[in-house]
Amino acid sequence: MITALIMQLLDAYCIVIFIYVILSWFPHETGIMGQIYSALGVLCDWYLDLFRRFIPPIGGMVDISPIAALLVLQLVGRLIVIIL
């Protein structure tokens, strides 16, 4: 039961990161999109910044750190399930 809850929380966080990345492709300076993007930034940036330190943007524009962050998050979730 605890493992299912942990996996659901990790999956929900992965979805939040995915939505944050998708929203970064669109203009979001003002309005509801800006507020949503800012709120998701509070939730996601602390985790994504761990990976941005080690993975620089490709060509100065393409940030692949969210891919690594999602892979690590899923891997850690699977390891927790195996351990528990």
Q: What pLDDT, on the 0 to 100 scale, is given for residue 81? A: 85
Per the CB < 8 A criterion, the answer to whether 37 and 24 are in contact is yes
Q: What is the pLDDT of residues 24-70, one digit of tens each?
A: 888 877 888 899 999 999 999 999 999 999 988 888 788 899 999 99
Reported confidence tier of residue 2, pLDDT bands at 50, 70, 90: confident
Q: How far is the C-alpha of 74 from the C-alpha of 25, rounded, in Å?
A: 24
Q: How far is the C-alpha of 22 from the C-alpha of 56, rounded, in Å?
A: 19
Per the CB < 8 A criterion, the answer to whether 37 and 28 are in contact is yes
Q: What is the pTM of this model?
A: 0.88
